[in-house]
Structure 1
Amino acid sequence: MIADRKDDHVRHAVNQHRHGANDFDSVTFIHHALAGLDRQDVSLGVDFAGKHWETPLFINGMTGGSRQTGEINRQLAIAARETGIPLASGSMSAFFRDISVADTYRVLRQENPHGFVMANVNATATLDQARRAIDLLEADALQIHLNAVQEIVMPEGDRSFGSWPRQIEHITANVPVPVIVKEVGFGLSRQTVTWLREAGVAVADVGGRGGTNFARIENDRRSAADFAFIEGWGQSTPNCLLDCAGVVGLDLAASGGLRSPLDVARALALGANATGVAGVFLETLVRQDTAALVGMIRTWLDQLRDILTVLGARTPADLAGCDLLLTGEVATFCQLRGIDAAAYAHRSLWWSESERPQRSHP
């Protein structure tokens, strides 16, 4: 049954995926026509989860636990290896229930022996299970995913969430790798991220609304499909990043609804240290092949470097000094949460006296 559910998730996710509008469209860079720099001076490197990554882009957790999903993981691992970007597994709960599916996850490390690989467990996992997940993948970090809304809609899902904070604290304090806590598409609030920081978590992946919708996926699996009213639950990824601005002491990752290199740049400009993509990459892999996904990732990285060049940002971190216009639902969210949206339009590093190019005089 678990294997069938994993295959269902992939099928529904691919069918659901559309390049439609989301809140990233309400985030616009202000163009300064003389801000550009030489492309050769741009680096995509970032410091994240205690490591240096050559890129702020990673393949976020998707799947595993069945023959079909194991093959998808093999191809994802090859794409990560060929492009040099980090990679996360999907939920490893199926492995805990049935050790025979271990290879559907282990392939992530087998095909990508030198890459940065993240294991993935849910918040009900025991410390022993978390350690087993890390050992199976020789993981560099551990993701703990939060999916209460998905579980509620899932016909066979959990209904007990009160132990999650204690489990996160216990695992974080007792595993040998950094812990990343991520939402699966409904967003992390400022209060939640602040709590995660106090619990010692290294990274909060805001996992906001706008990408793969697991409430819709689980509702599609229900015979009555009677949870349609909950499909719009949660905060979008841009709103989560704005809400969490200023929470120091942990890194922020942005996932959920990133459709292009421009969305990656927008997320970095809103405060993310790195960005995770799942749905767009999964669709490309399933509808085309591994070579197409490798080509897409390489194109994204090239185009991201181009965007930084035009904006005058030597590193992804410099995007946090670019001017942004926040409009639409994003501006409304800022108003209601007490966030100064106008300040984002007047923060340009380039226009500071030390950075402004000087006129030459005869």
Structure 2
Amino acid sequence: MSSIWSRKDAHVHLAEMNYQAHANNGFDDVRLVHQSLTTVDIADVNLNTKIGTFDLEVPFFINAMTGGSPKTKIINQNLSRIAKECHLAMAVGSVSIALKHDDSEIRDSFTIVRKENPDGFIFSNIGAHHSLENAKRAVDLLQADALQVHLNIPQEIVMPEGDRAFSSWLHNIETLVQHLDVPVIVKEVGFGMSQETIQQLLDIGVTMIDVAGRGGTNFIQIENERREQEEFSYLYDWGQTTAESLLEAQPFLSQADFIASGGIRNPLDIIKAYSLGAKAVGLSGEILHQCLTQGNDATIATLLNWQEHLKKLMSLTGTKTIQELTKTKKVFSLELENWKKQRN
């Protein structure tokens, strides 16, 4: 089992080694127009948001990261404690390894999340190649409130031991949507979404989509660095940024609820994501970095501070609710405006 554990631990190590505080998620290409007068007092701001049938007290959550080894159990334990203290929803990393191996230490690295936060809102997570039976097992493992199904073809292609067959994925997702007892969230892992992909997902009944754009953890880079010879460095900029992905989602905002994730760095990024139509925002790399380098107490303090900053920024933009942020006036850079025009 040590080889599996070492892969999971390597993912975390490389994610932290490649952490960039100022990665390009596309939000620097979005400027909110300042208005000198506001009619909104900070005390009147409401941070609640809703995705699907779920009400979230805080408009951001801890997105999928890790699990599958004794070391990542400790990380998941810490993340679940942070989530509980800050009233955040939380997703775990792919539980595929726990479905494949009958090993209590592997399972414990995921179930610790529910143990530490018994009343929390928790997403389980599997790959799109899994069967309905495995999806049900993934949900049962965590008594999960929802299931993330992740799309990670670029990662699989670069991963030395990755999958090479993807043609069944869309049908598999449709089966899960139709027969699973909890909501299904389809999630990219950091390469963004296109209009075409979103339409495919809508056509099979998906109503919650995490666009997970380029700008956060780069799994092409991580898997390339795990290879004996790094062969895929030319693909490090593959995919759409988070901002570009939210533009791709614009025609479908009334048909599905979109989650923005991928390189979210600060409260202003969150505000910009909501201004582009997101219904929730997921954080991974930033929280992992804080947790690993600053510890739980400092991370909790930071995330509670972010909630206060969000209220202040919403007052600054004249919005009382998260939903009103779509009405904020925005100006795009020439590069982002060019993407918008070429992609209609």
If the length of structure 2 is used for normalisation, what is the TM-score? 0.96
| Greater alpha carbon shift after TM alignment, 246-255 vs 82-91 | 246-255
Q: Which consecutive residues of structure 1, in runs of 5 or more, have no partner in the other structure?
A: 339-362
Q: CA deviation at 1:35?
A: 2.4
Partner of 1:19: 21
Answering whether residue 214 of structure 2 is matched by residue 220 of structure 1, we say no
Partner of 1:10: 12
Of residues 308, 320, 342, the one that matches 1:314 is 320
Of residues 13, 23, 31, the one that matches 2:34 is 31
SS in 1 for 2:160: coil
In 1: Cα distance, 2:80 partner to 2:146 partner: 16
Displaced runs of 4+ in structure 1, greater than 3 A?
A: none
Q: Does structure 2 conserve the Cα–Cα contact (< 8 Å) formed by 1:187 and 1:237?
A: yes
Q: How does 1:88-127 map to 2 (within 5 A)?
A: 88-100=91-103, 101-127=106-132
In 1: Cα distance, 2:293 partner to 2:335 partner: 32
Larger radius of gyration: 1
Q: CA deviation at 1:202?
A: 2.7
Q: Does structure 2 conserve the Cα–Cα contact (< 8 Å) formed by 1:93 and 1:122?
A: yes
Partner of 1:251: 257
Partner of 1:155: 160
In 2: Cα distance, 1:224 partner to 1:13 partner: 19
In 2: Cα distance, 1:112 partner to 1:28 partner: 38
In 2: Cα distance, 1:322 partner to 1:2 partner: 47
Of residues 297, 300, 310, the one that matches 2:303 is 297
The number of residues matched between the two structures is 338
What is the identity, as a one-letter code, of the residue corresponding to 1:314?
A: K
In 2: Cα distance, 1:299 partner to 1:139 partner: 28
Q: How does 1:60-71 map to 2 (within 5 A)?
A: 60-71=63-74
Q: CA deviation at 1:197?
A: 1.8
Partner of 1:185: 190
Q: CA deviation at 1:36?
A: 4.4
Of residues 286, 294, 313, the one that matches 1:280 is 286
SS in 2 for 1:58: strand
Please give the root-mean-square deviation of Cα atoms over the aligned residues, in Å.
1.0
Answering whether residue 60 of structure 2 is matched by residue 57 of structure 1, we say yes
SS in 1 for 2:251: coil
SS in 2 for 1:102: helix
Q: Does structure 2 conserve the Cα–Cα contact (< 8 Å) formed by 1:178 and 1:201?
A: no
In 2: Cα distance, 1:290 partner to 1:201 partner: 35
Of residues 219, 235, 241, the one that matches 1:230 is 235
1:81-116 Cα shifts (integer Å, max 9, x gaps): 000010001011110122321110001111111111
Check 1:161–1:78 CA distance in 2 against 1; reply closer, same or farther (3 A cut): same
Q: Does structure 2 conserve the Cα–Cα contact (< 8 Å) formed by 1:36 and 1:311?
A: no
Q: CA deviation at 1:16?
A: 0.4
Q: Does structure 1 conserve the Cα–Cα contact (< 8 Å) formed by 2:124 and 2:139?
A: yes
What is the identity, as a one-letter code, of the residue corresponding to 1:64?
A: G
1:57-80 Cα shifts (integer Å, max 9, x gaps): 010000000000011000000000
In 2: Cα distance, 1:20 partner to 1:106 partner: 33
SS in 2 for 1:91: coil
Of residues 325, 333, 337, the one that matches 1:327 is 333
Answering whether residue 141 of structure 2 is matched by residue 164 of structure 1, we say no
In 1: Cα distance, 2:147 partner to 2:207 partner: 10
In 2: Cα distance, 1:328 partner to 1:303 partner: 29
Q: Which consecutive residues of structure 2, in runs of 5 or more, have no partner in the other structure?
A: none
Identity of aligned residues (%): 41
If the length of structure 1 is used for normalisation, what is the TM-score? 0.92
